[in-house]
Structure 1
């Protein structure tokens, strides 16, 4: 086993701050986890909307009014971006599991590409809804 001095380096990239300099690969990994948790929490909204639709008209009007308000649209826009980002993060891991894209420079480009492509896909979906 290699003689490695483990006392002078951090044990985890989640010790961001004075011990660990954030890198695009670690930030994108943390963001995949955050978007997954956010999507889980936000999945309550369409379920509540459907339950309200099966219930009374006033309950549906309340939930529908909330989801069609500017704040509801903002939440759904964030959820759409999070869905695309999380999807691209999982796709990146499938590519890594197949043994591709493991070079440091390629993984950096994939990390930046996830942010850019998630934003582009979100804009395309929103424009598609506005046009049609």
Structure 2
């Protein structure tokens, strides 16, 4: 027996174990988040940096394939990555990687039950932001020294 006559509501309708009909909650999306709250902004940023990091791995694959393909393709890849656009992209990727890693550690802390109270949530959120900045700059200082 159908729970609803409206097809749009069908995905939001369900039954409890006792058979009672209930409406399922909708997942939150960008329109319901208050971006002025640190928790919402960090959550959305975690998802965005994960996507950026996944896309950036394609550039790493390009570099590895170019290295395996020979000196010509590798020189082309190296030229791109050493250009202003390439360096800007690598800097952004390193920032995204550090942010996503630190935010992931924060989420793992939540998974074990630590940090749900608001003061700790705000403190760890600020730590993620500060840590991202410090680790990104430190990474690039090491890169510049090593390449210098």
Output the aligned Cα RMSD: 1.7
Alpha-carbon separation, structure 1, partners of 2:75 and 2:145: 25
TM normalised by structure 2 equals 0.74
Structure 1 unmatched runs, 5+: 1-10
Q: Which whole-Å deviations, capped at 9, do the CAs of 1:12-55 have from their partners, x for residues lacking one?
A: 35215xxx532110110100100011111110111111111111
Q: Answer yes or no: is the 8 Å Cα contact 1:13–1:26 preserved in 2.
A: no
Matches within 5 A, 1:21-100: 21-22=34-35, 23-100=37-114
Equivalent residue number for residue 28 of structure 2: 12
Following TM superposition, the consecutive aligned residue runs of length 4 or more in structure 1 with deviations greater than 4 angstroms are none
TM normalised by structure 1 equals 0.83
Alpha-carbon separation, structure 2, partners of 1:98 and 1:118: 23
Equivalent residue number for residue 142 of structure 2: 128
- Aligned residue pairs, count: 120
Matches within 5 A, 1:109-128: 109-128=123-142
Between 1 and 2, higher relative CO (CA 8 Å, sep ≥ 6) is seen in 1
Which has more radius of gyration? Answer: 2
Matches within 5 A, 1:103-114: 103-114=117-128
